[in-house]
Every structure is written in structure tokens, then in C-alpha cells.
């Protein structure tokens, strides 16, 4: 069997297993196994495959056929140009969340005139999971101190590993939302909280509903349970004119914006769209 024939067979098996991107996954598993890339694959395509490599490759294909996420097989996910360790204890970082990081970075760098500028920013990555938001901000911005909190001790262990691998040193806190940080106040609170409606969980892809942590997905009956708590208590944990910035589901901008306005504690609510044109991020500054 040639390399290209082996990968084609892998693709066919993943297609039959209803994996979303069978061609891409079949190639990525080969890259992971061999340490090569697309150029290497092009050069190796017509080479015969030895039995050991063939067995190892189809073992990986077998895992993916069971709808185990590709990232759980390889153990990593790229986010903001950085590599993050992932496992079933944390939500796999997604490209949509890069919109939040990029918008927050604009504020910290002074590129957003609607946000009060500071020499140094204290940032809280709330519901941090793998630590992708806080760690990425620490890498792309110089003038900030990052804290990260999560309810899950296992998630925090993964976040600590990711911080070390990416050469940043956040402060980590474990607990239920703001209870983790006590009375501390921040210049920015950034969060990608659980926001999937409970009744929508069963129709999610198997990779998500069977292999990612439910506590990072389920946002309650209307998907807003965590937003209500985060927004209500945010004024008590923001410094003067501090910023609350949240990732949202594509149809949640109106509801989340309304929750922010109801507090009477924030300025104009801003909505940022993702690359597909969907509402993805909401932010506002504290009035005081």
C-alpha cells in the first residue's frame, strides 16, 4: 500500500463514520503520526508504507471513527498561533473565540477609543478552561497581568500546563465564578461561558456532546444562566471604567445586551461579529 492509498482508505472510513472533515482529518492524522506536513506528504505520496506505520495509522483512524475529537487524539489545538494541550476536561478552543481575544487585545493596546486606557491592565479570564483566552492575551499584549479561574480543578491543571508551555505566568483560582477570586477587582473580565441551551445538547455533534465537558457547554434552559450571574456580579469585580467582554452564541446578542443594560452599571453595549457575519462578542465598560 502506498502512502496516498493509505490516506485515501482512512478518508473513506471516516466518511462512512460521518466525520465532518474526513479528507482533512485523514491527512492531519498522518501528519501527527509522521511529523511531516503537506509538502512532505506530496513528496511521500507514492512511497510504500511499512506494516508498523500502516498499523499505527489505522489505529488512529479507528479512534476517530468512534467520533473521538481529532484534538483529543493528537492532544493539542492551535489557537491564536499558539499550541494548547487539550483533553476531555476542557473545552477545545475554537476559532470563534479568537474574535474575543483580538477585540480584547485592541482595547489593551489602546486601539479602541471607546475604552478607557491604562498603563497596566489586570485581566480575569473567567471560566478559563484550557486557559486559551488569558494565555493568548498575555502573549500578544505586554502591559497586563492575567488571572484565570475555573470551577473545575482538572481544567485548571490543564490551564497551568498550557501557561507553562506558552511561557506566561497567570494567577490561577478555583471556584464558582467570582467566588474563586473573592473581592478582587479587574480592569477587564473576559469570559466564554457555557451558553448552549440544554435542550440543544442532544443534537450536538457526537464529538462535542460525548467527549467535551458538559459543564463547559450547558447554559441552562435558555442558554443564559451563566450570563445572568456573570453580568449581575461584574460591577463588584471591575475597577473604574473596567470592561466586561463576553463570547456569545450567534443568536444571543439581544438577550445578553439586555442583561447588561438592566444592571444600569454599564455604558453603551457593543457587539462584534465573527468572520461569518454572526454576532459573536458583546462588551461594555462600567459607568463608574
DSSP state of 60: H
Q: Which helix (H) or strand (E) holds 246?
A: strand 238-247
| Spatial separation of the C-alpha atoms in residues 25 and 129, rounded to whole Å | 25
- pTM of the predicted model as reported, rounded to 2 decimal places: 0.93
Position 262 scores a pLDDT of 97
Segment-wise mean pLDDT, segments of 10 residues, the chain, 288 residues: 96 97 97 94 93 96 98 97 97 96 96 93 98 98 96 98 97 97 98 97 96 96 98 97 97 97 96 95 95
Position 212 scores a pLDDT of 97
Position 288 scores a pLDDT of 85
Residue 109 CB coordination number (10 Å): 15
Could you tell me if 195 and 215 are in contact, meaning their C-beta atoms sit under 8 angstroms apart? Answer: no
Amino acid at each position: 500500500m502506498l502512502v496516498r492509498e493509505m490516506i485515501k482508505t482512512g478518508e473513506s472510513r471516516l466518511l462512512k463514520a460521518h466525520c465532518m472533515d474526513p479528507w482533512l482529518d485523514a491527512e492531519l492524522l498522518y501528519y501527527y503520526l509522521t511529523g511531516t506536513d503537506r509538502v512532505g506528504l506530496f513528496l511521500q505520496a507514492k512511497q510504500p508504507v511499512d506494516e508498523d506505520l500502516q498499523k499505527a495509522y489505522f489505529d488512529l483512524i479507528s479512534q476517530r471513527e468512534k467520533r473521538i475529537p481529532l484534538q483529543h487524539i493528537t492532544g493539542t489545538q492551535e489557537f491564536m498561533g499558539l499550541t494548547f494541550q487539550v483533553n476531555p476536561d476542557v473545552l477545545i478552543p475554537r476559532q470563534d473565540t479568537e474574535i474575543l481575544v483580538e477585540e480584547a487585545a485592541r482595547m489593551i493596546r489602546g486601539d479602541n477609543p471607546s475604552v478607557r486606557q491604562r498603563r497596566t491592565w489586570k485581566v480575569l479570564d473567567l471560566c478559563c478552561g484550557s486557559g486559551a483566552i488569558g494565555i493568548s492575551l498575555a502573549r500578544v499584549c505586554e502591559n497586563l497581568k492575567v488571572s484565570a479561574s475555573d470551577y473545575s480543578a482538572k481544567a485548571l491543571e490543564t490551564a497551568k500546563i498550557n501557561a507553562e508551555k506558552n511561557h506566561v505566568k497567570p494567577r490561577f483560582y478555583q471556584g464558582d465564578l467570582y467566588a474563586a477570586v473573592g473581592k478582587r477587582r479587574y480592569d477587564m473580565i473576559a469570559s466564554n461561558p457555557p451558553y448552549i441551551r440544554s435542550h440543544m445538547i442532544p443534537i450536538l455533534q457526537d464529538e462535542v456532546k460525548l467527549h467535551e465537558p458538559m459543564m463547559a457547554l450547558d447554559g441552562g434552559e435558555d442558554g443564559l444562566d451563566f450570563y445572568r450571574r456573570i453580568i449581575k456580579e461584574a460591577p463588584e469585580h471591575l475597577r473604574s471604567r473596567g470592561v466586561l467582554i463576553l463570547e456569545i452564541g450567534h443568536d444571543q446578542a439581544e438577550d445578553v445586551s439586555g442583561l447588561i443594560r438592566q444592571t444600569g452599571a454599564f455604558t453603551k453595549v457593543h457587539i462584534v461579529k465573527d468572520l461569518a457575519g454572526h454576532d459573536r462578542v458583546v462588551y461594555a465598560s462600567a459607568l463608574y
